[in-house]
Amino acid sequence: MTEIRNRVALVTGAGRGLGQAIAETLAREGWSVAVHCFHSIDGANETVRRIGMEGGHAAVFQSNLADEDGVSSLMGMVVQEMGPVSCLVNHAFVRMPDMALDATKENWEAHMALNLRATFVLMQNFARALPGGEDGCIINMLDARILRSGASEMTYLLSQRALASLTQDMAQALAPRVRVNGIACAASCVDGVEKDMTDSLRQGLPIHRKTTPEDVCRAVRFLIDSQEVSGQVLSLSGMDSPED
């Protein structure tokens, strides 16, 4: 188990769903958690309230990561208020369904700005702000559908596939001090995608079980603790076949 000693973790998109669950899990592990949100300020405040009720420490940071000034300033704000960040979990994303022939410039730019550019800038700023002599960990949350071929949700999944590649590239670039990994989550855990899988869909999975937020949180803890793991994208998809 990684020794925490009041270390700070920044979780983006932590005002709802999976990001909220990850923030609360890290707080239970002893991390001081910077809870980022943009639109979901009420949810972020609720995350902090629940962490506080359990004796943890957390604070809300509201910032528009699709805006260059917003993403560039976030890490500095967290460091100034909470101290150096040792763990970054990039969960914030935007998802606007489109197809190859109806994808718009607006969708393309929105997906690339938040899902790719913002995550890249945060990883840069995380590494730059890491104190000398300390190691850090970055976990990028991905959609497991990047493992399939297909034309649905074209620009969203393109940005997610690019982020998976960036995850591996940054693991090389930031080694040995910073480990960078990804977790590709099943649709049942991706905010904005269907929340309830029918019995028939679940039975179609080889392990007959859908992925839960608790499964993802265990994977986050595993990647934080595993000092030898970097440059990996861990699939939590219930063995959902890329050919399906």
> Domain-by-domain residue ranges, the chain?
8-235
CATH of domain 8-235: 3.40.50.720
Phi, psi of 110 (to 5 degrees): -65, -45
pLDDT tens digit at each of 244 positions of the chain:
455 557 999 999 999 999 999 999 999 999 999 999 999 999 999 999 999 999 999 999 999 999 999 999 999 999 999 999 999 999 999 999 999 999 999 999 999 999 999 999 999 999 999 999 999 999 999 999 998 876 689 999 999 999 999 999 999 999 999 999 999 998 666 655 554 443 444 555 555 578 899 999 999 999 999 999 999 999 998 655 444 3
Q: Which amino acid is at 121?
A: V
